[in-house]
């Protein structure tokens, strides 16, 4: 049996865009429901957020919790489960099926599914997840006290992960395929100056070695006369890809990289479907917490106008 109530708005994603949309929708007196697994979404993996107005220095988990607490104070209805399918029944009715088989209905939808972590694509990568391979330094740093760790990547995510891990590990090797770190100069400079971080440039990992747990990696060129680097853990920080499976099912138009194309009101090409946050082409593709919140707010405001003008509120 499903939930026969028809919400004014269903929000798919519990990141900054999703919660901002829920907060604005609730203040507009629109009934809404938000779906996702983790309050705050991918931002919860950020070891520090230093550029969100009002918080000079806050962890991603704390910021995500504050978004959730704000929404809960207004009575936003949350469902911590994945959405498996969205089907458009008519102009003002969407059928949403979650991974536990429950069905929900809404007049409009905001897609705020964000991005998912990019993997190395190595043969045995999956078997080492949770056994030496991680995609979240914030989550797993404490497990590597005085250990030797590798970090893959050279952008802000990799640089901040290395700095966090250096507080716990005895040694951090940051392995990057290019010859210079990118991202914010401040983070890159801190990495280069940190005594227990060593950056291995112009190098890729081509194999993971270990029995039950990761023990070493094989490099595509020798480092200190060996192509094998012993590690107790490896953190993969090589970016992310749009989580767009639901978008494709709905027939939403994507760009060549798989991000949802939206207009200035965050509206997609499908009537009744808006999108916000890192999944979209909006905000000059800046993809920051502050722009995600902005997009979620704009989408909610646009939906309010849409439903009001069409006699649905």
pTM value is 0.81
Rg (CA), the chain: 21
> Is pLDDT at 116 greater than 80 in this prediction?
yes
Domains and CATH numbers, the chain: 6-117+240-309 (3.50.50.60), 125-236 (3.50.50.60)
Q: Which tens digit of pLDDT belongs to each residue from 132-148?
A: 999 888 878 889 999 99
249: confidence class by pLDDT, cuts 50, 70, 90: confident
> Is pLDDT at 117 greater than 90 in this prediction?
no
3-state secondary structure of 312: coil
Contact 110, 21 (CB under 8 A): yes
Mean of pLDDT values over 160-167: 96
Q: How far apart are CA 204 and CA 227, in angstroms?
A: 10
| Percent of the chain whose predicted confidence (pLDDT) is above 90 | 83
What are the phi and psi torsion angles at 139 (to 5°)?
A: -70, -40
Q: How far apart are CA 155 and CA 121, in angstroms?
A: 19
For residue 140, the tally of other CB atoms under 10 A from its CB is 18
Contacts of 168 (CB under 8 A, 6+ apart): 141, 142, 144, 145, 146, 147
> Is pLDDT at 9 greater than 70 in this prediction?
yes
Q: Which tens digit of pLDDT belongs to each residue from 237-248?
A: 998 889 888 888
Contact 184, 168 (CB under 8 A): no
Which residues form the catalytic set? 136, 139-140
89: confidence class by pLDDT, cuts 50, 70, 90: very high
> Is pLDDT at 210 greater than 80 in this prediction?
yes
Alpha-carbon 207 to chain mean position: 26
Find residue 217's DSSP bridge partners.
208, 229
Structure token digits, residue 255: 């760009």
Find residue 214's DSSP bridge partners.
210
> Is pLDDT at 48 greater than 80 in this prediction?
no
């Amino acid at each position: 049996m499903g939930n026969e109530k028809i919400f004014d708005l269903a929000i798919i994603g519990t990141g900054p865009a999703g919660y901002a949309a829920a907060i604005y929708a609730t203040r507009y007196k629109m009934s809404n429901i938000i779906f996702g697994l983790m309050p705050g979404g991918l931002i919860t993996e950020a070891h520090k957020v230093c550029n969100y107005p009002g918080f000079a220095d806050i962890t991603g988990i704390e910021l995500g919790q504050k978004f959730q607490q704000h929404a809960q104070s207004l009575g936003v209805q949350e469902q911590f489960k994945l959405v498996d399918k969205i089907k458009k029944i008519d102009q003002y009715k969407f059928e949403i099926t979650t991974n536990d088989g429950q069905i929900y209905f809404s007049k409009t939808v905001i897609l705020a599914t964000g991005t998912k972590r990019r993997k190395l694509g190595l043969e045995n990568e999956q078997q080492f997840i949770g056994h030496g391979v991680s995609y979240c330094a914030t989550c797993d740093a404490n497990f590597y006290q005085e250990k030797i760790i590798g970090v893959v990547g050279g952008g802000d995510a990799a640089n901040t992960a290395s700095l966090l891990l250096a507080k716990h590990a005895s040694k951090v090797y940051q392995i990057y395929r290019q010859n210079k770190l990118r991202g914010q100069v401040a983070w890159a400079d801190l990495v280069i100056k940190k005594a227990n971080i060593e950056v291995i440039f112009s190098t890729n990992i081509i194999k993971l070695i270990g029995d039950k747990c990761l023990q070493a990696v094989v490099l595509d060129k020798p480092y200190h006369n060996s192509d094998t680097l012993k590690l107790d853990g490896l953190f993969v920080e090589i970016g992310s890809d749009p989580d767009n499976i639901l978008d494709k099912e709905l027939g939403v138009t994507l760009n060549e990289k798989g991000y949802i194309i939206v207009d200035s009101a965050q509206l997609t090409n499908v009537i009744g479907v808006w999108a916000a946050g890192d999944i979209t082409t909006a905000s000059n593709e800046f993809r920051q917490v502050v722009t995600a919140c902005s997009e979620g707010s704009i989408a909610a405001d646009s939906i309010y106008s849409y439903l009001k003008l069409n006699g649905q509120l």
